[in-house]
Amino acid sequence: MTSPSGARLRTMAVSLVLAAAVSTQFGAAVGALVFPQAGPMGVVTLRLVFGAAILLALLRPRVRGRTASDWLLVLGLGLSLALMNTMLYHAIDRIPLGIGVTFEVLGPLVLYVVLGRRSSHVVWAVLALAGVYLLGGDLGADLDPVGVALALGAGAAWAGYILVGSRVARRFDGADGLALALAVGAVLALPLGVATAGTALVEPGVLGVGALVAVLSSVVPYSLEMAALRRVTAGSFAVLMSLYPLIAALAGRLVLGQALGGLELVGILLVAVATAGATRHSAPVPG
């Protein structure tokens, strides 16, 4: 039976991740509005650079006295963030936001099916595959295969973000580790952003959207997720990720005008249910 304190922690974690999901997906939808001017890589670069600058200025994380292990975790989280954002934004330049995030969430699903080592998880894996089939099987002619591959790559990076992020959340105070990791991600993304977007990165309109996306999709949600990872196991945290595809579909509809058909909505729902089912009793990620 769950203790009152445990129930409060879980309720708080649910609220934190729900807020993070809404902020992340609507931020991504807003970012897609300036893809024609700056391209996906330009938006990713502004998101990471502004996000790092804001958190570093606010938190002033301690740099001295960190161990080599601390810095390896920061580098790993920064690389995961750079890869996850880069591949997802390039994916949603090719396929609808809700569908892209549905393919992306398969990364955490596979991670927790493997960690859970339960035979019942095969059922959830099959259910997820059925959802993906509805999205990319009969509808395959309408989906860009490169976009799908990029979304799946973003899912693998998302799994890495969870594995490393759970350790960073417990090793660093507050969001200090996140601030340092965002700085690493920004350094990795900046050369590619400058090379692909050029002077578009300094256009006032693009800069404004980039700053907004940084707040909505990096500063707010990643800080909330780090706080949630301190309150529940990474397995419980992953249950809540089943909300991401549904919220992404809503953001795509409201901000980008991306209407989804009945089969596509059913596919998104199946992946969401499979993710929740597979991760509900999964083993915690080693922290």
Distance between CA atoms of residues 179 and 54, nearest Å: 9
On whether residue 266 sits in a domain, the answer given is: yes
On whether residue 172 sits in a domain, the answer given is: yes
Per-residue pLDDT of 213-227, as tens digits, reads 999 988 888 888 777
Could you tell me the sign of the dihedral formed by the alpha carbons of 251, 252, 257, 259, in that order?
Answer: negative
Confidence at 237, pLDDT banded by 50, 70, 90? low
Is the model more confident about 281 or about 53?
53
Q: Which residues lie below 8 Å from residue 226, measured CB to CB, with a gap of 6+? A: 165, 168, 169, 175, 177, 178
Predicted TM-score (pTM) of this structure: 0.83
What's the residue count for the chain?
287
On whether residue 2 sits in a domain, the answer given is: no
pLDDT higher than 60, residue 285: no
Confidence at 1, pLDDT banded by 50, 70, 90? very low
Q: Are 155 and 103 in contact (CB under 8 A)?
A: yes
Distance between CA atoms of residues 220 and 164, nearest Å: 19
On whether residue 285 sits in a domain, the answer given is: no
Structural domain boundaries enclosing 267: 9-279
On whether residue 287 sits in a domain, the answer given is: no
Q: How many domains does the chain have?
A: 1
On whether residue 141 sits in a domain, the answer given is: yes
Distance between CA atoms of residues 206 and 203, nearest Å: 5
